[in-house]
Amino acid sequence: MSHFSYRNGELHAESVSLADIASRFGTPTYVYSQQSLLENFASYADACAGRDALVCYAMKANSNLAILRLLASRGAGFDLVSGGELLRVIAAGGDPRKCLFSGVGKTRDEMRLALSHDILCFNVESIPELRRLNEVAGEAGKRAPVSLRVNPNVDPKTHPYIATGLKANKFGVAFTDALDAYRLATSLPNIEVVGIDCHIGSQLLDDAPLLEALDKLIDLIDTMESEGIPIHHLDLGGGIGITYDDEQPVAVGDYLGRVFARIDAWRQQKHGGRPIKVCFEPGRSIVGNAGVLLTRIEYLKPGEEKNFCIVDAAMNDMMRPAMYEAWMGVQAVTQRSGDEVQYDVVGPVCESGDWLARDRGLVVAEGDLLVINSAGAYGMTMASNYNTRGRAAEVLVDGSRCTLVRQRETPESLFALEQLPAQS
């Protein structure tokens, strides 16, 4: 959170006071630092410089058009999981030909849409999907570029809800079935095999599981190429974690350096130095610590066992604590002197699961502003309208300038698409 700091006792995003943002745009509001976004993306892009490599931002982490445009302007590709996300890339000025389409449940309409925009690759996750894509591509008079998402059965040692590379997970083709799946893919007339990919999970602090998965993919590629199945790109997915509390995730440059060293040694030994394109799909590590959720304290409610700090943000704005029991940092926007009081920071939604932080020492008063840190990833994209609550505004800060990049939803906008039946 290097671009969120106190100046004269007041928390700023880059050079803009968060209190001023609250005054201008209200609360709750997501606030993003452009400098953080660019630096985080550069950690990948710089490590890939001079190589045939593509950084495809996993936009499920945060799909605001302004963020997509900013990353596209720096050469990013995109990892999609829906047709809607593809349309967002296009609306933001991104290049569909640098898009990878992941996800276990692609519909025929989504396949047609992606084919019509000549995306870079479909990351296919099952045999039924492969057969459907072959049919849809044939109807469109095209050959679909395909990479099979291989499930390497590697334990990422992360939260079970965000582990995706184990046998029990719904994602990908089982490692033991992958060779037969590739044999089938090469036999289908409207499929063009171009790559192989995997994604074993999210919020990984250690790159050892990722490198283990890479070794398994390397062995599989050698087997396939010995059978005349060429692989043109290797996609290692994303998953590098961020610091929410005291975690120490592996540095992106160190991880990518080890990846490229292994790939270079393998290609030199087995393939005479012939290069292979490498793709990455980072999401959280680009946007997570580039954003905060700005919220105002409505009430301070003492209780027999707990003290509650009731704010105007809620689980519908930030699902991670309720869904994953995730720890997220909390800071007061204005520093006060005095003794800390332990609070649970909770929202107004009618659920006991509506909490943002538990047992936090705060020096605050009613009406003060707080920020929920590390909120740039899986905040707004997972937000809902539960309790007919409009989703938050979003603001992008660039130095001393701040821009409203998403308006706050009004109650009227929430039911604008609903219709009352005619009365009998």
> Contact 121/277 with Cβ under 8 angstroms?
no
Q: φ and ψ at 372, to 5 degrees?
A: -95, 115
Tokens of 249: 């995730």
Bond before 28 cis per omega within 30 degrees: yes
Task: Please confirm, yes or no, whether 350 is among the known catalytic residues.
Answer: yes
- In this structure, the strands spanning 369-372 and 291-301 are antiparallel
Alpha-helix runs per DSSP H in 147-207: 178-187
Q: CA 186 to CA 198: how far, in whole Å?
A: 19
How many C-beta atoms lie closer than 10 Å to residue 162's C-beta? 16
Query: Which residues touch 86 (CB under 8 Å, ≥6 apart)?
Result: 80, 96, 99, 101, 110, 113, 114, 117, 119
DSSP 312: S
The kind and range of the H/E element at 71 are helix 65-73
Q: φ and ψ at 284, to 5 degrees?
A: -55, -40
Tokens of 120: 């870079």
Cα 326 to Cα 127, 157, 357, 370: the distances in Å are 35, 15, 9, 18
Q: CA 287 to CA 26: how far, in whole Å?
A: 22
Active site residue: 198, 309, 350, 402, which one? 350
- Single-letter residue type at 422: A
3-state secondary structure of 218: helix
Just list the catalytic residues.
350
